Amino acid sequence: MRLPIPFGRKGLIAAAAIAAGVVYWRVRVRRQEAADREWDEDVQSAIQDGVSAGRAATRGEPAETTGA
C-alpha cells in the first residue's frame, strides 16, 4: 500500500531539510545565548575582582580574589 505524498519524494526531502535547518538554527541560538551569559558572568566577576583589589590597594590590605 502506497501513501500519496503531496509533493512527491523531492518535496518530502526538501521539507526534511528545512526542518533540520530550523532545528540547527534554534540549537545554535541557544548555545550562543549560553555563551553570552557565561561571558557576561566572567566580565562581572573580573570587574568585581578589580574593584576589590583597588579598594584593598588604597587601604593597604591584601586583596581578596576568587581563585579559579
Q: Answer yes or no: pTM beyond 0.75.
A: no
Residue 58 lies in a domain: no
Domain that holds residue 17: 7-45
49-67 pLDDT, tens digit per residue, is 999 988 888 887 665 666 5
DSSP H/E element including 67: none
Q: Which residue, chain included where needed, has cell 576589590?
A: 52
Residue 1 lies in a domain: no
Residue 18 lies in a domain: yes
9-50 pLDDT, tens digit per residue, is 888 888 899 999 999 999 999 999 999 999 999 999 999 999
Residue 14 lies in a domain: yes
**Cβ(64)–Cβ(56) below 8 Å:** yes
Residue 61 lies in a domain: no
Q: How many domains does the chain have?
A: 1
**Cβ(43)–Cβ(49) below 8 Å:** no
Residue 15 lies in a domain: yes
